[in-house]
Structure formats: C-alpha cells, structure tokens
Amino acid sequence: MTMKHFAGLFAGTICLTIILATGCASPRQTDNADARRQLALNLAKQNTAKAVPALTTLLQDDNVMVRRAAVRSLAAHGEAGKDVLHQALRENSDEQTRRMALQILCENRRPDDCLDILETALTDQPLPVRIYAAALLASERPAIGRRQQLLQKASRDEDLAVRSLVMRATWPFHCDTVRLRDRADWDYDVVVKERHPLPEAGWKIAIDNDVQGHTRNWFKPDFDDSAWTDIKIAKAWEPQGINHDGFAWYRGTFKAPAKPARFNAAELHFGGVDECAWVWLNGVYIGDHDLGPEGWNVPFSLDVTKILKWGEDNQLTVRVHDSTMAGGIWKPITLEILE
C-alpha cells in the first residue's frame, strides 16, 4: 500500500467513525470509496430511520462497489429497505446492483409470491437481470396461471440465452424409452442386421426465432410445411443459404422397409447434428441429443421400435439448435435394424 493510499484510507476511516458516531453526517462527506463502502456495510446494523436514507444516497454513489454494499445492507432493514430495493431494481444504472436487488427481494420466497417483482425484472435491458428472473420463474413445476404467462413472455425474449433457459425448463416433451444396448435386462450382443439410409434430399426447413415451433405443432405429421425452404441433410445449412445461429426445424419423409421376420429393435442413427437435436417420428417424441456445443460431432441413436410404420411412409421432424459457426443435420441419418 502506498503512503498516498494509506493517507486517503486513514482519512476516510476517521470520517466514517464520525459519521457512525453522530448519525447525521452525509455519506458523501468522504471522497474515499473504501470508507464509503464500509459505511454502507456498517449501516446494516444501524437504526433503520437513519440508515435507510443514508443507504438510499449510497445507491447513487459513483462507485458501483459502494452501491452493491448498500443493497446488501438494505436487506437488513425490513419493509423500509425493501421499498428502496424496489426502486433500485427499476432505476439503478448498475446492472449488478439491480440483479442483487432482485435476488434479495425474492430470497426465501416462492416464485409465485414475487411475480410483480419478476415481471419488472423481465423488462430489464442488461441480460443478467432477465436471465436471473427467468431462472426463478422456471425453478418450480408445473408453471400455471400468471407464472406460466410470464414464462411465455420470457420465451419470446430478444436474447437467445433467455429463450433457451425458459425452453429447457418448461419443455413439455419427454421420452422414457431405453435403447436396446442400454437395457439393464439385455445381456446379449447387439448386432446391426440392416442399415437403411434416409434420403438426403426432399427435406424442408424453417427458422424458429421465437422458439415457439413446438407450440405451433411443427412436429405433427399433417402439419403443412409447403411454405418452408427446401434443404438437404448430410450437409450443414450454411452452404445451403441458411445463415442462422439458433433454432430451426427439419421435416422429411422416408419409407421404411418391410418388417423383418426376426429382429429385436429398430433405431434411427444420426451421424452428426450440429449442435443439439429434439426428434419426433410420426408425431411421437422419441428423444433428444442435448450436449450443448460439445455435441456437434457426437453420433447418437434413438429407439423407434414401437413407432416405426413398417413398409409405409414415416414422417420425421428434427428440431435443431446451433449456437455458432456451421449448423444443422450435417451427417446422414440411418434406420438401423438390430438383432
């Protein structure tokens, strides 16, 4: 510590001592940020009638660390402190101060008990506050009533991070089917008896900017995708004119072979989807591949034994999420018959 810094800190400490002793000096009477921050922390233990006005002043301090200390201390002053925190959440220029105010106002409360606060936070411009509010809204299931409405609002947020968080927390589709290789009761070798590559051409794609495709029934076999863009699989979407990072949906049809006389399971094998995939066959949700960005080149298979229509056309829908660079179903899809 330099002598100059020590002298400033010493002067600030003397001023702080006077302020705390008299309870009547202004928090801005010291130019030392460390002393003002310590003052803010110490005001948590002072009389509410004197402390809250001083903390309100410190919430406008030029130093953001002083503001954040003031937020923490206001939590100790009951309803009077909460009134100021509400104002800080709406108006303070420091986004971390607003996030801390939100956290304190909702601490030890169920999301349904602080919906007004969370609705305010969902309109915040900096991303961290909106993400925190969306995470709290999604922290309990099921989402019903007004909380469901707020989550629907958050699902249309301009930022993909908020939309993705809400989607994962409220995703209505689940699949409990276990692949043959993963069944605890299966003690036999699994052999691929037949491989039938799906056609690479004849697919359709649509961008899902507001992450609402699943609510529009884009996975239903009879959904009209005639207005969608033509695309091929086994090739990323960027070279095909789709310059997009985010969600997009593929729809295609393939004809399954005749049902074999002898087999144990049927699976759809995906050589690679960049990055994540959620899959429906004939309108039935069959599972996902959701490893985040690391999953872009990881093959995966999904069981379709009970859903596949043997010897008939089958409709396949794949919802894809790509966060950066190339995206889409960039490797072939194969129907595998297992024995």
In DSSP notation, 264-292 reads: SEEEEEES-EESEEEEEETTEEEEEE--G
Residue 314's pLDDT is 99
> Is the distance from CB of 256 to CB of 335 less than 8 angstroms?
yes
Distance between CA atoms of residues 172 and 57, nearest Å: 47
For residues 246 and 9, what is the distance between their CA atoms, to the nearest angstrom? 50
The number of beta carbons lying within 10 Å of the beta carbon of residue 334 is 18
Region 269-293: mean pLDDT is 96
The total number of residues shown for the chain amounts to 339
pLDDT for position 169: 75
List, in order, residues 6 or more apart from 235 with CB less than 8 Å away: 200, 328, 330
Nearest CA to 136 among 164, 157, 107, 163? 107
Q: Which of these ranges, 99-113, 137-151, 221-235, has the smallest mean pLDDT?
A: 137-151
Query: In sequence order, what are the beta bridge partners of 195?
Result: 336
Residue 2 has a pLDDT of 43
Omega before 332 within 30 of 0, i.e. cis: no
pLDDT tens, position by position, 14-24? 344 434 443 44
pLDDT of residue 27: 56
The band of 332, judged by pLDDT with boundaries at 50, 70 and 90, is very high
DSSP state letter for 140: S
Q: pLDDT: is 7 or 57 the higher one?
A: 57
Q: Quick check: 234 pLDDT over 90?
A: yes
Strand 276-281 vs strand 313-322: parallel, antiparallel, or unpaired?
Answer: antiparallel
For position 22, what pLDDT does the model report? 38
- In this model, does residue 319 exceed pLDDT 60? yes
Asked whether the beta carbons of 124 and 133 are under 8 A apart, the reply is: yes
Q: Assess whether pLDDT exceeds 90 at residue 320.
A: yes
In the predicted structure, residue 284 carries a pLDDT above the cut 90 = yes
What is residue 26's predicted lDDT score, i.e. its pLDDT? 54
Give pLDDT, residue 9. Answer: 39
**Is a pLDDT exceeding 90 seen at residue 166?**
no
Name the more confident of 122 and 170. 122
Dihedral angle computed from the Cα positions of residues 113, 117, 118 and 119, in that order, rounded to the nearest 10 degrees: 110
- Average pLDDT (71-93) is 92
Of 331 and 172, more confident: 331
Q: Give percent of the chain above pLDDT 90.
A: 67
Please give the pLDDT value at position 23: 47
Give the lowest-confidence range in 67-71, 88-92, 154-158: 154-158
Tell me what pLDDT residue 30 has.
Answer: 60
* Tokens (6 digits) for 271: 């050589």
| C-beta of residue 272 within 8 angstroms of C-beta of residue 330 | yes
**Average of per-residue pLDDT values in the chain:** 89
Asked whether residue 79 carries a pLDDT value surpassing 60, the answer given is: yes
Q: At residue 5, does pLDDT exceed 90? A: no
Give the whole-angstrom CA distance, residue 166 versus residue 141.
Answer: 12
Whole-number pLDDT of residue 153: 86
Q: What is the pTM for the complete model shown?
A: 0.64
Q: Rounded to an integer, what distance in angstroms lies between the CA atom of residue 253 and that of residue 274?
A: 21
Give the rounded distance of the alpha carbon of 248 from its chain centre.
17
Q: How far is the C-alpha of 272 from the C-alpha of 277, rounded, in Å?
A: 10
Which residues does 219 contact at the CB level (< 8 Å), separation at least 6?
213, 280, 283, 285, 317, 319
Tell me which of 266 and 8 has the higher pLDDT.
Answer: 266
Q: 174-184: per-residue pLDDT in tens?
A: 898 999 989 89
- Whether 97 shows a pLDDT value over 50: the answer reads yes
Please report the domains of the chain, with CATH numbers, ordered by start residue.
3-170 (1.25.10.10), 180-338 (2.60.120.260)
Whole-angstrom CA distances from 109 to 16, 82, 137, 140 are 35, 14, 12, 12
Report CA torsion sign: 61, 67, 71, 73.
negative
Average pLDDT, integer, range 246-258: 98
Tell me the average pLDDT across 292-300.
Answer: 94
What is the arrangement of strands in the sheet containing 265-270, beginning at the earlier edge strand? 192-197, 333-338, 265-270, 300-303
Q: How far apart are the first and last CA of the chain?
A: 74
pLDDT over 90 (residue 212)? no
Task: Tell me what pLDDT residue 195 has.
Answer: 98
Long-range (24+ apart) CB contacts under 8 A made by 1-7 are: none
Q: What is the mean pLDDT of residues 169-190?
A: 89
